[in-house]
Amino acid sequence: MSADNKTKVVADDMVISLDYTLSVDGEVLDSSEDEGPIVFLQGHGNIIPGLEKELVGLAVGENKEVTVTPKDGYGEQDSEEIKDIPLSEFPEEIPLKDGIELKVKDDEGVEMYGKIVSVGEETVEMDFNHPLAGKTLQFSVKLIELRDATQEELAHGHVHSPGHAH
């Protein structure tokens, strides 16, 4: 680490390595403990907006508690995202049970994930809201590393890991 690193703080167009713990309603849902810090390009919408904007000004080694409302997180629950789909559209080999998550294609062939709410006589009710829609997210973060992005990363809008440009 150079002395210069000590004074650097998070700003747009920097590559951030961040340890995090995500809790919802006091329950830990996800953390970087197992897979290591997340690495992303700040200011390019690569993480949810409510967390990204709170990281600005953070220095390496600093911790922060961030509360993200649904509006700045995964959005509110949308009743239009709960849909009845004809049973005939599901391949027979798929077991249809409440709570199962499935990938389905919409009319334009776009794949989307949904969760089965209930299975009826002729239709299956599915919820296509993000599982964290409507939830207030509590992040506990620690800034691990900070560097300037390369020109190529800026052009692509995402981080390149060493030896793996795409």
Contact residues toward Zn ion (CB under 5 A) are 156, 166
Residue 158 beta carbon to Zn ion: minimum distance, rounded to whole angstroms: 6
Indicate the residue among 3 and 155 with the shorter CB distance to Zn ion.
155
Nearer to Zn ion, 81 or 153 (CB): 153
8-state DSSP, 67:
E
Please state the closest distance from residue 156 (CB atom) to Zn ion, in A. Answer: 3
In this complex, which beta carbon is closest to Zn ion, that of residue 24 or of residue 39? 39
Return the DSSP state at 129: S
Q: From the CB of 134, what's the least distance to Zn ion, in Å?
A: 33
40 Rama class: left (phi>0) / alpha (psi -120 to 50) / beta: beta
Q: Which is nearer to Zn ion, 109 or 162 (CB)?
A: 162
Q: What is d(CA 50, CA 137) in angstroms, rounded to the nearest whole number?
A: 9
- Per-residue buried b or exposed e for 61-78, using 16+ beta carbons within 10 Å of the residue's own CB: eeebebebebebbbbeee
CB half-sphere exposure, 59, CA atoms < 13 A:
6
Q: How far is the CB of 50 from Zn ion (least distance, A)?
A: 25
Angle at CA of residue 104, ends 98 and 106, nearest 5° = 125
> By C-beta, is 146 or 159 nearer to Zn ion?
159
Which residue's Cβ lies closest to Zn ion?
156
Question: Least distance to Zn ion from the beta carbon of 5, Å?
Answer: 25
